[in-house]
Amino acid sequence: MKEYTILAVISVITTVILDRTSKVGVLKKRVFYLFLAVILFFKLLVNGYLTASPIVIYDSDFFMGLRITTIPLEDFFFGFSMVATSIIFWEYFKRREA
């Protein structure tokens, strides 16, 4: 079963729900996508290196097999969710402190 694919999709959906329910709403801001583009650039360098060398090796049973350069498509979902989640919590706690 494509477990990594399933988990990656669930993480994106969860992140969108988290952004809405927490009322942080960073995903609605245009600057967030500029931010994502910056992150994406460095992700391509670092994640590209890790998958090309390869330091991290993926089992083809668990992901779709689609790669952008050497990076599995699911890694982009993972990366988006993780980075967005950290920003959502950061904004949430920062506002509570203020």
3-state secondary structure of 98: coil
Asked if 22 touches another protein (CB under 8 A), the answer is no
**CA proximity to 18, closest of 96, 87, 98, 69:** 87
- Closest separation between CB of residue 86 and another protein, Å? 4
Tell me how far apart the alpha carbons of residues 37 and 41 are, in angstroms, rounded to a whole number. Answer: 6
Q: Which residues in 53-92 contact another protein (CB under 8 A)?
A: 53-59, 62-63, 78, 81-83, 85-87, 89-90, 92
Task: For the beta carbon of residue 64, count every other beta carbon within 10 angstroms.
Answer: 13
Q: Report the interface residues with another protein, using CB under 8 A.
A: 3-4, 7, 11, 31, 34-35, 38-39, 42, 46, 53-59, 62-63, 78, 81-83, 85-87, 89-90, 92-94, 96-97
